[in-house]
Amino acid sequence: MTRRVFLAAAGVAPLAAAPVRLPIRKAVEFSMLPASLSIADRFQLARDAGFEAIECPTTPEGPVAQEMLQASRKAGLPIHSVMNQEHWRSPLSSADPAVVEKSLEGMRTSLRNARLWGADTVLLVPAVVNPETTYGQAWERSQRQIRKLIPLAEELKIVIGIEEVWNKFLLSPLEFARYVDEFQSPWIRAYFDVGNVAISGYPQDWIRTLGKRIVKLHIKDFAFRKRVAEFTPLLEGEIDWGAVHAALAEIGYGGTATVELPGGDGAYLNEVNRRFERILSGA
């Protein structure tokens, strides 16, 4: 007789298994680190706070990009992804060829940054729906332009991670999955932001729907209080982190997750890291 059968026969419910710490590497946004410090000191501060990787912005200036590479190596803090910077100012969904070319060039720079730094992903907001650009136009135009980037992404071995943001586009997990799948390319995947979908959906639902399409995660909390939507400190919003933990375990996600919050000093970053660890541990 097994222990479980014995306990059941005795009318004793077995203890629930404790949540397992997710095999996810904790990263921080470069923008969260104090701008008053040198680049090298910012990397070291992030490392000292307990982070294991960092996400850096597009850096077109060659000497600055090299400085970030050296800071990464010195602190032992890998740059795991690049936050593309041009997609909001110059969306790929624009009808203006000059705007689109500026956006494409920003992505080319981001992809080359990633190769230089040893990162494996570039985050891309694919389109912006606005009074000048319909939903259908945003879909068709952005996909057409992103396909132009796939050969370079493949050459450099860098994944383009499509992120869902508050851009009135990709408003459901089914739609997001379809958008990614239509490229039929291993170099186009989903960069899933847990906090961004909480205004109208449930992150755990999106995670299960996107599944293996997810290449990276952004971590932040969210609340809708007194008719005001706002991002909050971790563990102080309305996201069901236990459900998120279970969904990530279910799909077997074992990559990197980057916390995306306002910046602060060393004490603040230590507290962010502590809360981040609680989320990953299912506590």
How would you write 202-263 as a 3-class SS string?
A: CHHHHHHHHHHHEEEEEECEEEEECCEEEEECCCCCCCCHHHHHHHHHHHCCCCEEEECCCC
Three-state DSSP at 43 gives: helix
At residue 158 the predicted structure's pLDDT band, cuts being 50, 70 and 90, is very high
pLDDT at 277 over 80: yes
Q: Could you tell me which residue, 121 or 19, shows the higher pLDDT?
A: 121
**Mean per-residue pLDDT for 63-90?**
97
**Residues with Cβ < 8 Å from 139, sequence gap 6 or more?**
127, 169, 179
Asked whether the beta carbons of 13 and 7 are under 8 A apart, the reply is yes
One-letter amino acid at 147 equals: R
130 φ/ψ angles, rounded to the nearest 5 degrees: -150, 180
Q: What is the mean pLDDT of the chain?
A: 94
What is the C-alpha separation between 188 and 176, in angstroms, rounded? Answer: 12
- Over residues 138-153, the mean pLDDT reads 98
Cβ atoms of 62 and 80 within 8 Å: the answer is no
- For 63, list phi and psi in degrees, rounded to 5: -60, -35
pLDDT higher than threshold 70 for residue 176: yes
Q: How much is the pLDDT for 283?
A: 83
Name the more confident of 164 and 225. 164
Give 254-263 pLDDT, tens digit per residue: 999 999 999 9
pLDDT, tens digit, 9 for 90 and up, residues 196-207: 999 989 999 999
Confidence of residue 16 (pLDDT cuts 50, 70, 90): low
- DSSP type of residue 87: T
- Supply the pTM of this predicted model: 0.92
Give, in degrees to the nearest 5, the angle at Cα 15 between 12 and 21: 170
In which band, very low, low, confident or very high, does the pLDDT at 15 lie, cut at 50, 70 and 90?
Answer: low
HEC profile for 109-140? HHHHHHHHHCCCEEEECCCCCECCECHHHHHH
Q: What percent of the chain has pLDDT over 70?
A: 94
DSSP 3-state of 282: coil
pLDDT tens per residue across span 26-66: 999 999 999 999 999 999 999 999 999 999 999 999 999 99
Side-chain half-sphere CA neighbours of 26 within 13 A: 21
pLDDT in tens, 220-245: 999 988 778 999 999 999 999 999 99
What is the rounded CA–CA span in Å between residue 195 and residue 112?
A: 28
Question: At residue 208, does pLDDT exceed 70?
Answer: yes
> What is the amino acid identity at position 84?
N
Q: Which residues of 38-55 are buried (b: 16+ CB within 10 A; e: fewer)?
A: ebeebbbbbbebebbbbb
- From first CA to last CA, the distance across the chain in angstroms is 33
